[in-house]
Structure 1
């Protein structure tokens, strides 16, 4: 790497260490009150929004392994936010359903996330928020193509 590029790299590292790591905390904090990670909340959200969701549906959608989703679902089951229901036609197929406690937790977490996000949009404005989103989408797309 050329010496002229090092300050740019250093600046990116500084931004990551001081700001981007905060983004994880920003999105995960609302779920902590319910003893959930943000990933677990997203799974719960998926299940409350859709019927007949299976573990494999979630794994496929997120492009992760079945075991990665299974670990997250075990927590949701243990905490009483989800239950499993066998398919009437194929008892081996298990649908994931939100319990009343899971539905209540999802709504409360969503409300907290919405308030936090709206505060962020209030600071940056709707136009700037869309520009940031577009940049992140573009960055993600380019990064995936380079793999």
Structure 2
């Protein structure tokens, strides 16, 4: 790395340590009151929004392994936010359904997230939020393509 690029790298590291970690905390905090990670909340959200969702549907959508989703779902089942229901035509196929407690938790977490996000928009404005979103999308796309080609 060229010596003149070192301050830029140091600045990126500083931003990561002071800001990006906070962004993760900012996003995940509303679910903590329900003893859920943000990933678990997103799974619960998917299940409350769609019918006949299976573990494999979620794993496929997120492009992760079945076991990664299974660990998350186990927590949701244990905490009483989800239940499983066998398909009437194929008892091996299990649908994931939100319990009343799961539906209420999803609704309350969503309200908290909406409130936090609105505060963020009020502070920074929609234009800046859109710029950040566009940058993150571009960064992700370029990184995925580069990693795929290597």
Query: For this structure pair, what is the TM-score category when the shorter chain's length is used for normalisation?
Result: over 0.9
Partner of 1:137: 137
SS of residue matched to 1:83: strand
Partner of 2:8: 8
Structure 2 unaligned regions, length at least 5: none
Shift of 1:128: 1.1
Partner of 1:33: 33
Partner of 2:87: 87
CA distance in 1, matches of 2:32, 2:21: 17
Partner of 2:45: 45
SS of residue matched to 2:92: coil
- The Cα RMSD (Å) is 0.4
CA distance in 2, matches of 1:85, 1:94: 5
Shift of 1:127: 1.1
- TM-score, normalised to structure 1's length? 0.99
CA distance in 2, matches of 1:96, 1:143: 33
CA distance in 1, matches of 2:59, 2:133: 24
CA distance in 1, matches of 2:24, 2:127: 22
CA distance in 2, matches of 1:21, 1:132: 16
Aligned residue pairs, count: 147
Partner of 2:18: 18
Structure 1 unaligned regions, length at least 5: none
